[in-house]
Amino acid sequence: MRDTDKPALTNAPQMYVHYCEEDGCKEWGGFGNSPSKAVPVRWWCWEHFPHKSYEQEQELRRKLEAAELDRGKTQ
């Protein structure tokens, strides 16, 4: 009589990890959007989130440009 090979319980903890889905982007995807409950939520970082309002987009542009200028000063 031999022990039957039982499949090991390999239930990895279901961690809810979602990074920005933009190619090459390593940012945390903190902003999700789904057109309906039947569609899985997709996640992006704020910079790549495609559902920002026009005002939010402009605000982000200003921030990025300011950061760009700062970098230019320090180098």
State which of positions 17-36 bind Zn ion (CB under 5 A): 20, 22, 25, 27
- The most distant pair of C-alpha atoms in the chain lies apart, rounded to whole Å, by 77
Please say which residue, 10 or 47, places its beta carbon nearer to Zn ion.
Answer: 47
Q: Of the candidates 28, 45, 52, 60, which one interacts with Zn ion according to CB under 5 A?
A: 45
16 closest CA partner among 33, 28, 27: 28
Cα angle 12-40-49, degrees, rounded to a multiple of 5: 105
Q: How far apart are CA 63 and CA 55, in angstroms?
A: 12
Closest distance to Zn ion from the beta carbon of 49 (Å): 8
Is 48 a residue that touches Zn ion (CB under 5 A)?
yes
Closest distance to Zn ion from the beta carbon of 31 (Å): 9
